[in-house]
Amino acid sequence: MNRRQSLARRLALPLTIAACLAGGAALADPWIPPAGSGIAKAEVRLYTADRHFPHSHFGTSTTPASKLSLTQFRLTGATGLGHDLSLEYDLRVASTRLSHLGAAHTSTGPQDQEIGLNYGLTQTPAFADSLTFNLIAPTGAAKPPPALGTGRWAVEPDAQFGLRQGPLSATLIAGPRVFLDGGATQLRAELDLFASATPRIALTGTVFFVNTLQRQRLLPPADQGEIYNLLRLGIGAQYRLTATLRPFIEYEADIAGKSIHAGQRITIGVAFRY
């Protein structure tokens, strides 16, 4: 076995995950926009990690690991279709670089893409809930490492809830991501917090958690990208430049996990409302 093959086998799991899956929800918003209107967010994500959470259990301790860096270009959004429906999407392209024992490898291209339909149930100014069905297409290359995708189709039915009270709001999206090869099911949840500090400046916070239920069988190497647990916290701010444009910045850190790199991410982008 040559050096590159050995590296691929030892690091296929954390690379696939850090590069592709630990991203959070496409767009947590249970308020369905009117037909023809919506929101689109274009952003750049810069992720770095040189430590790793334990393989044996979920925890906060980390050990030195290969250095992983990722630059991701992401477009997310929701468009109202009418009849209490909206189209949601999460489209990603990335360049990821792995450095280990003096060797460096880079992968660039599309990652796995997500698209779904969101159906509104209760829709009031103070409270909303909805049901979403998402399809994740394996458009990212799964090998050689560093991987850009899992190589597996998946579906994700979610429930979304939202509360608004004056300058404060909170949204929650939760549901399973089921890989159709039968290898694993991820239970995923994201809480987004929003507080208007001034008429133009708002503060944001995020909590993202994923727990994987693995089938009781040995998974082939290509399936290993489905297996990880993670808790990530984030803080940020956005500025209301105009009625339609809102630049934003966010910092996120991996707080606890299992079988995944432990790193930090900075996101810079702009939201466009139409």
pLDDT digits (tens, 9 = 90+) for 108-149: 999 999 999 999 999 999 999 999 999 999 999 988 888 899
- Residue 241, pLDDT > 70, answer yes
- Residue 204, pLDDT > 80, answer yes
Q: How many residues does the chain have?
A: 274
Percentage, residues of the chain above pLDDT 70? 86
End-to-end Cα distance, the chain: 55
Going from N- to C-terminal start, the domains of the chain cover 3-273
Question: How far is CA 258 from each of CA 31, 112, 207, 212, rounded to the nearest angstrom?
Answer: 34, 22, 17, 10
Q: Residue 254: how many CB atoms within 10 A of its CB? A: 24
Q: Specify the CATH number of the domain 3-273.
A: 2.40.160.40
Burial 161-171 (b: 16+ CB within 10 A, else e): bbebeeeebbb
Question: How far is CA 36 from each of CA 83, 220, 244, rounded to the nearest angstrom?
Answer: 12, 44, 15
* Local structure of 207: helix, strand or coil: strand
Mean pLDDT of the chain: 89
Residue 224: the pLDDT is 54
- Residue 221, pLDDT > 80, answer no
| Cα 28 to chain centroid, rounded | 11
Residue 253: the pLDDT is 98
pLDDT digits (tens, 9 = 90+) for 11-55: 444 444 433 445 666 677 899 999 999 999 999 999 999 999 999
